[in-house]
Structure 1
Amino acid sequence: MTDASEGAVNVHVDGRIAEIALANGPLNLVTRALLRSLNKIIDELEMQDDLRCVIVHGGSARAFCAGSDIKEFVDIFADASEKKILFEDMVLRRLARLSMPTIAAIDGPALGGGLELALACDLRVCRAGVALGLTEARLGGLAGNGSLRLTRLVGPARAKELLFTGATIDAERALSWGLVNRVAAQGSALSAARELAHAICARGPLSNRFAKQLVDAALDQPLDAALSFSTVVQQKIFDSHDLHEGAAAFFAKREPEFLGR
């Protein structure tokens, strides 16, 4: 897989980095078509063992993603769980559970379901001045999974303020709150995300995948269970080719050639 299109989403693979470009109109609205396309792309990425990082970005649209297409609501009021909520939640869970690190490159507004999509990535890089928010309250709506992920990043008080008011914050405040990892003061967020992705790819892919699992375990599991899991994966690291290669490269004063095993 080098370049592929799944309707509302395109994917390009350059070496060990895959880029998912949303391609669903000028605002990249979250529609059933976009979710189906993204789900198919995730199917393909899950099978790419040699990938070391995935970037999600807004392509050529004005927005990273401006949220749900409100026009679809008319047809789903009575069966929202079946027609939207459960499927959207599954796709975002699958994105969050990709084994390799993921980065959202946010060059335009990320609002409502668009911010939820970015929150499902491990890291977020944002262009200066871009607006972010879970704005569903303005319509009497609610960000479901986004409320939970937002709270884990910024804490309950700040999350409640954003959710209750439907307000947006700019990239700079999002950085100070811990909502985004980096702000691209010059140039695009996508360029900054690519730079970060290359730095990630230069490190041990096996250790990065296990690090992702351990961080998630720290949030999701009781401490004792997470510590037991850390012992298991540490042993796997010491049994790996990559750690022996890293040590050999250190003493030889050369760059390591990690194989991900």
Structure 2
Amino acid sequence: MAGDRRRRGAPRRRRRRAAPAAPRAPGVIELAARDGVARLTLCRPEALNALDRALTGALEQALERVAAMDDVTVLVVAGRGRAFCAGNDLKEMAALAPEEAEALAGRQAALMARFAALPQVTIAAIDGAALGGGLMLALAQDLRVASDRARLGLPEVTLGFTPAYGIARLLDVVGGGHARDLLLTGRTLHASEALRMGLVNRVVAPPTLEASVAALAADVARAPRGGLAAAKAAVAAIRAGTPGREAQAFAAALGTSPAARERIAAFARRRG
């Protein structure tokens, strides 16, 4: 009878068709930790690890887990397949209403800020393309190691728009002249030019990328986590326009880290 009432009733009003909700896609990231180092891998190789809503949501959840890992000192961020991250998923963007696209950009901007706020030192392992939002993801990390087949750039201007987030971080890393070059030309850089520009910290041969990043991560992880977190906090405070925090960060690290005190005492004994 309910079906009869629907057939006999007033015609249904047409509803505006919204973009489909972000699907829950298990497996779009992998997160594992061992010996003080966590590794976060983007796992959309068929889409060059492009950032869609599902991957954005998975990264948000992963960072909550990483922030709670008290035994992890370093986080490595990498991409599976032949790209680090090719930027935002343009197919999904084309299906989003303007307000949905704006909301997604806001989430991604907050996501990049959360990487910077982690107590762990973060390292981007860049192989293949790091373009648009993918380059901004790499820039959100403390250190960047690229293979010599990496290609980096901000092509948004060639498509008629500008990056929705990350420009302040770009300015911080490479300065105004290089930032304008990237933003206004939309050109793609070879890893060697990115190194000269200061966009990446090291360039290595592709077969050695994983081992080089692992060695760097292990080296950083040997330092007491409290001191590293304090150094990150001091840099963040200066970038935010509140200089003079170095002494506070130094005192905080000493006050909260028995490891720091033990190392200072051991160093003093060796010098004595």
> TM over 0.5, yes or no?
yes
Task: Give 3-state SS (helix, strand or coil) of 1:194's partner.
Answer: helix
Task: Give 3-state SS (helix, strand or coil) of 2:124's partner.
Answer: strand
Identity of aligned residues (%): 35
In the alignment, is residue 104 of structure 1 matched against residue 120 of structure 2? no
Task: Give 3-state SS (helix, strand or coil) of 1:143's partner.
Answer: coil
**Counterparts of 1:228-243 in structure 2 under 5 Å?**
229-239=245-255, 240-243=257-260
Cα offset for 1:9? Answer: 0.8
83 and 76 in structure 1: CA distance in 2 versus 1, 3 angstrom threshold: farther
Tell me which residue corresponds to 1:244: 261
Once the two structures are superposed, what CA deviation does each residue of 1:96-118 show, in whole Å capped at 9, x if it has no partner? 21111000000111011111111
Following the alignment from structure 2 to structure 1, what is the Cα–Cα distance between the partners of residues 34 and 158?
40
Once the two structures are superposed, what CA deviation does each residue of 1:115-135 show, in whole Å capped at 9, x if it has no partner? 111111111000013110011
Tell me which residue corresponds to 1:114: 134
Once the two structures are superposed, what CA deviation does each residue of 1:48-86 show, in whole Å capped at 9, x if it has no partner? 111100000012x11001111111122324214554111
CA RMSD of aligned residues (A): 1.8
Is the CA contact 1:106–1:190 (under 8 Å) kept in the aligned structure 2?
no
Tell me which residue corresponds to 1:259: none
Tell me which residue corresponds to 1:187: 207
2:88 corresponds to which letter in structure 1? S
Cα offset for 1:142? Answer: 1.3
12 and 177 in structure 1: CA distance in 2 versus 1, 3 angstrom threshold: same
Following the alignment from structure 1 to structure 2, what is the Cα–Cα distance between the partners of residues 44 and 92?
16
Q: TM-score, normalised by structure 1?
A: 0.87
**Counterparts of 1:1-261 in structure 2 under 5 Å?**
6-26=26-46, 27-59=48-80, 61-80=81-100, 82-185=102-205, 187-222=207-242, 226-227=243-244, 229-239=245-255, 240-251=257-268
1:246 corresponds to which letter in structure 2? R
Is the CA contact 1:9–1:38 (under 8 Å) kept in the aligned structure 2?
yes
Following the alignment from structure 1 to structure 2, what is the Cα–Cα distance between the partners of residues 113 and 82?
14
Is the CA contact 1:7–1:33 (under 8 Å) kept in the aligned structure 2?
no
Following the alignment from structure 1 to structure 2, what is the Cα–Cα distance between the partners of residues 129 and 81?
31
Following the alignment from structure 1 to structure 2, what is the Cα–Cα distance between the partners of residues 132 and 80?
27
Is the CA contact 1:131–1:171 (under 8 Å) kept in the aligned structure 2?
yes
2:79 corresponds to which letter in structure 1? G
Task: Give 3-state SS (helix, strand or coil) of 1:18's partner.
Answer: strand
Following the alignment from structure 1 to structure 2, what is the Cα–Cα distance between the partners of residues 104 and 121?
6
Give structure 1 regions of 4+ aligned residues with deviation exceeding 4 angstroms: none
Cα offset for 1:155? Answer: 1.2
Cα offset for 1:147? Answer: 2.1
Tell me which residue corresponds to 2:20: none
Structure 2 alignment gaps of length 5 or more: 1-24
Following the alignment from structure 1 to structure 2, what is the Cα–Cα distance between the partners of residues 158 and 23?
31
Following the alignment from structure 1 to structure 2, what is the Cα–Cα distance between the partners of residues 162 and 80?
27
Larger radius of gyration: 2
Once the two structures are superposed, what CA deviation does each residue of 1:174-225 show, in whole Å capped at 9, x if it has no partner? 1111111111136332321111111101112111110011112221123xxx
Following the alignment from structure 1 to structure 2, what is the Cα–Cα distance between the partners of residues 16 and 242?
15
1:209 corresponds to which letter in structure 2? A
Task: Give 3-state SS (helix, strand or coil) of 1:145's partner.
Answer: coil
Is the CA contact 1:111–1:133 (under 8 Å) kept in the aligned structure 2?
yes
Task: Give 3-state SS (helix, strand or coil) of 1:28's partner.
Answer: coil
Once the two structures are superposed, what CA deviation does each residue of 1:14-58 show, in whole Å capped at 9, x if it has no partner? 121000000013300110010001111111111111110000001
